[in-house]
Amino acid sequence: MTFYQELQLNQAGSKKLIKNSKTSKEKFSHTAVYLFKIALTVAFCFFFVTFFSKIFGSENSVAGVAILLSLLAFRQVDLGFDIGQSSYVMMGMFGILIFGPHLANAFGPGVGFVINLACMLAMTVFGCYEIRFFNHATLLLSYILLYGNDVTGDLYLKRVIGLALGGLWIVFCLYRNHMHKNHKDTLRDVMEAFSINASETRWHIKVSLGISLAILIGELMGLPRTMWIGIAAMSVIHPSNELRKRSHMFYRLAGNVFGCVLFLGLLVILPKSMYGLVGVIGGIGVGFCASYKWQTVFNSFGALGLAMAIFGLKTAIILRILNNAIAVGFVFIYVPLFDKILELVTQTTVSKELLS
């Protein structure tokens, strides 16, 4: 494996390579590459978002984050069907990111719920044809972040331009990196695969409806930062019910509580002039983590850092824990209820078909 190929590995791949090293020298070499990759990634992310913010405004930094998430994801995975057609679909995805979150905010919770549901369902159906690629973690996260950080006026115009240019960049990278793949499935196959009897379609509906409902509940309760509820709901509505039950729900809540404790500890240790580095520390921590539980811990740092500037430290921590607790509690009730209703609908449909 070349140096460049080793840089392309994800955290799990790099850690596996280090673990399987046969000699101390080989282990040191792989570890050095891994550390260099993390430093390179964090530096690139920091400078890209900073550069994007300077051009399109600091309020639009989240749009830069959305572009960055897509770049990091789609340089390694595609959409699971014909690459040429996938490129056009990716343009549509960024069209949704440009208009969907803004329209949902403009029309308020009720109509906004419908818009969110329609947009997220479209993104999962066409962007998550291969659920095992976990493209929803990129596409839906980007949508929720933009929804939770909406802008208006000239700032929105700048956001439109930034996302449009970023979308073209992602389309180019997607096509360049994956054009050698010979997928047999086409966009037509993707649309024909949409069926209430298909497990993939059921999950597309489950995650899209679940996130939209979770956000709506938070808004009807009058809570700030309802995007945290949406993000938490997305992360625990796992394609695997076993993982959702056994680990993700517990780790989501416990990880955020522990993340808040560590965040407080860093604020005690660091001088006020270095508080801005806490988010960077969180990013580095995520880079080292291949497991969901530790990623949840370090992801709290950046979120708390931004919320602290708006609400103050105490309120930010309370909101972080409360919103995640609401999301976990909602999913705990929602998923079994959704599955039961879907089972009844399926049984009714089958019975009607047999009688006819």
SS (H, E, C) 271-300: CHHHHHHHHHHHHHHHHHCCCHHHHHHHHH
- Across 171-330, where does the E strand assignment appear? none
Which pLDDT score, from 0 to 100, does residue 66 have?
94
Query: What does each C-alpha distance from 29 to 25, 26, 195, 230, 336 come to in angstroms?
Result: 6, 5, 49, 40, 47
Between helix 136-148 and helix 83-127 the angle, nearest 10°, is 70
Which pLDDT score, from 0 to 100, does residue 208 have?
96
What is the residue-level pLDDT of the chain in tens, covering all 356 positions? 677 677 777 666 777 788 888 888 888 888 888 888 878 888 888 899 899 999 999 999 999 999 999 998 998 899 999 999 999 999 999 999 999 999 999 999 999 999 999 999 999 999 999 988 889 989 999 999 999 999 999 999 999 999 999 999 999 999 999 999 999 999 999 999 998 888 899 999 999 999 999 999 999 999 988 999 999 999 888 776 655 555 678 888 888 899 899 988 888 888 887 777 777 777 767 766 767 778 888 888 888 887 888 888 889 999 999 999 999 999 999 998 998 988 887 777 656 656 66
Between helix 226-236 and helix 292-311 the angle, nearest 10°, is 170
H-run or E-run covering 198: none
Which pLDDT score, from 0 to 100, does residue 268 have?
85
Which pLDDT score, from 0 to 100, does residue 352 have?
64
The DSSP symbol for 195 reads -
Nearest to 91 by CA among 111, 113, 77, 74: 74
- What's the whole-model pTM score? 0.88
Other CB atoms within a 10 A radius of the CB of residue 50 amount to: 12
